[in-house]
Amino acid sequence: MKKFFTAFFALFPSKIPHLFLKMLGHKISWKSKIGFSFLFVNMLELEEFSKIGHFNFIKLDILKMSKKSVIKNLNYFKGPIKVFLKEKSIVGRLNKFTRAYSPVNYDTSSLKIGTGTGITHGNFFDLTCNISFGAHSQVAGIGSQFWTHGYIHAKEGSDRIRVDGDIHIGSNVYIGTKCLFNPGVNIASAINIGGNSVISKDLIKSGMYANQPLRYIEMDIEKTKSKLKKVSTKGLLDDVYTKNKAKK
């Protein structure tokens, strides 16, 4: 019911939503702004001068926006996801952030956007697992994709597994247009990635990276299983393995 009333009151004009949202237990600064958007959220926190624009569809577990953070117009957020925007971070227009519900997925995942980090418009974020950005990074241009899950099929028959992995982007990272990130990659700070690049492995050394040539990689499903950790959650539709690394 809290989600339903949050969505209902958020549609009112001017400062009327703030009063009712506070009554529902949300933490809303009077100096924040909410446009004409659909907000179906369990927990909403808007600090001073944070802003949600018009015609956004936001159906989440948690949305926390720090001072002067902005979600512009026509963005789509849906799934069991926790979203955290740090101070002066920006989500532009027409971005899509999605995650499937149980029994496809398990637990919840998070999207963390660091201080001063910007995401322009027309990008896609698969939040099967967590995605995080450090401070002062930029997803530039249009059409980049961030995937936190993929599949490996056996050479014959119906056997397949899903492989999940978090994506971590450091601080002061520039990402050019139409880049594609594979599950489980970690991008260190002070890195520039050229447009149309496919990022399939960790980038550790700071500097400039451009698109790699297509190469052959030997693959066997049983060898892959032996290198990964199986997710033990019961009732999932697929056999799911994770390649997340231990945090340092």
pLDDT digit string, tens, across residues 148-187: 999 999 989 999 999 999 999 999 999 999 999 999 999 9
Domain assignment present for residue 247? The answer is: no
Select the more confidently predicted residue: 243 or 56.
Answer: 56
Whole-prediction pTM: 0.84
Domain assignment present for residue 36? The answer is: yes
Domain assignment present for residue 191? The answer is: yes
Rounded Cα–Cα distance for residues 121 and 93 (Å): 5
Domain assignment present for residue 223? The answer is: yes
Domain assignment present for residue 205? The answer is: yes
Residue 61 lies in domain: 2-242
- CATH assignment of the domain containing 104: 2.160.10
Number of domains in the chain: 1
pLDDT digit string, tens, across residues 184-210: 999 999 999 999 999 999 999 999 998
Domain assignment present for residue 34? The answer is: yes
Domain assignment present for residue 120? The answer is: yes
Using 50, 70 and 90 to split pLDDT, how confident is the model at 113? very high
Domain assignment present for residue 248? The answer is: no
